[in-house]
Amino acid sequence: MNKLKLILSTTILALLMSVIFVAPVSGGMIGSKSNDAIKIETDKMIIEVKGGAFNPFFFFYENGQEANETAHYKFQLDQIFESEDLNGDMLFDNETDTVVANSMVALSSLTWEFSEFVIEKDSNDITTAIHFNITSNDDKAYSPVNNTDNFFIQFRMHMDVENTAEIKFDVVIDNYQFKSSTSMLVIGFKLITLEKQNMVRANNSFSFGDAYFESAPKANDSFGETHVGLSNSFDDGENRIYLSYENFDGRMVHDPILGLSSVSNDPIDSELSDNVNDADGSSDQSNGIEIPELSKEEMFVVNLFAILTFLLVPVLIIKAKK
């Protein structure tokens, strides 16, 4: 009877351990939302959107660097205004370009709404993308200076497994009435870090420390394309980044990117990328360990082998005791 109990208990243990050892571990990403605070965690990056309805900002850092405040980056929505591009280079220069009178508005003066997540999953129920929006259509805050009804500005946020070290955000502006037919519309962002970071420009991007900000050179509006400029400044001990939009009509959509260069191109190598892009692929990136996806037939063979192995062990032990 004792031998039977031993065999039965071992069989149950074998079944449980076979599942533990061979079941694929879910990769992808995790998103959480609490009131007006959002957090998304991937294997490489953690990004939080904080500040509530009146002062939203992005707070991001490499996964595993939570305690290292020198590796944290705060990217804050700052201002929106018009500027006359005096030298025609589509780059806002706060020392030479003229800000159009009564056009500057602090983005913190607008009321912002945070949407719910839209989550994409693959056939293995692994999260492959998370989307959410931060939107303001606060006419009262804007119309006194621009006489704009139904003004709309939105940041559409996207994270996916193609690169889990960056977040894409579409800038959407609709029904903005320019005060000047020759001015460009400028959005300013603050970059706040514990230690001063030097801005290094490369084509349409800036790098700072282990992070970067990238801008597409053109945006789409209701009638085609519009040019976009990317510039920066260092004022009052703070780095600022400016996106300058050529005078446009109707709705304008542009897609910048925030990311971490230290991990952006490394852990998702070519082999893992193939698995991730395949609808049937699955991998665990939470600890940098690649877990292969097995077919049903392969899973059956591995499970059967594990069960037989654990069943044979007590039998051999009993025979040895005899």
Chunked into runs of 10 residues, the chain (322 residues) has average pLDDT values of 51 44 49 86 93 84 92 94 94 94 90 91 92 80 52 92 92 93 96 88 93 96 95 89 95 96 53 31 32 41 57 60 56
- The pair of structure tokens assigned to 74 is 């705060």
What pLDDT does residue 235 have?
Answer: 82
What pLDDT does residue 137 have?
Answer: 78
What pLDDT does residue 314 have?
Answer: 61
Specify the residue for token string 């280079």: 89
CA 193 → CA 61, 68, 77, 171, distances in Å? 11, 12, 15, 23
117 φ/ψ angles, rounded to the nearest 5 degrees: -75, 145
Determine the CATH number of domain 30-277. Answer: 2.70.98
- HEC per residue, the chain: CHHHHHHHHHHHHHHHHHHHHHCCCCCCCEEEEECCEEEEECCCEEEEEECCCCCCEEEEEECCCCCCHHHCEEEEEEEEEEEECCCCCCCCCCCCCEECCCCCEEHHHCCCEECCCEEEECCCCCEEEEEEEEEECCHHHHHHHHCCCCCEEEEEEEEECCCCCEEEEEEEEECCCCCCCCEEEEEEEEEECCCCCCCEEECCEEEECCEEEECCCEEEECCEEEEEEEEEEEECCEEEEEEEECCCCCEEEECCEEEEHHHHCCCCCHHHHHHHHCCCCCCCCCCCCCCCCCCHHHHHHHHHHHHHHHHHHHHHHHHHHC
Considering just the CA atoms, what is the radius of gyration of the chain in Å? 26
- The pair of structure tokens assigned to 261 is 């260069």
Query: Domain locations in the chain?
Result: 2-24+300-321, 30-277
What pLDDT does residue 317 have?
Answer: 58
CA 20 → CA 6, 13, 25, 303, 312, distances in Å? 21, 10, 9, 10, 19
CA distance 292 to 24: 7
What pLDDT does residue 15 have?
Answer: 45
Contact yes or no for 132/157 (Cβ under 8 A) = yes
Contact yes or no for 43/276 (Cβ under 8 A) = no
- Say which residues have a Cβ less than 8 Å from residue 14's Cβ, sequence separation at least 6: 306, 307, 309, 310, 311
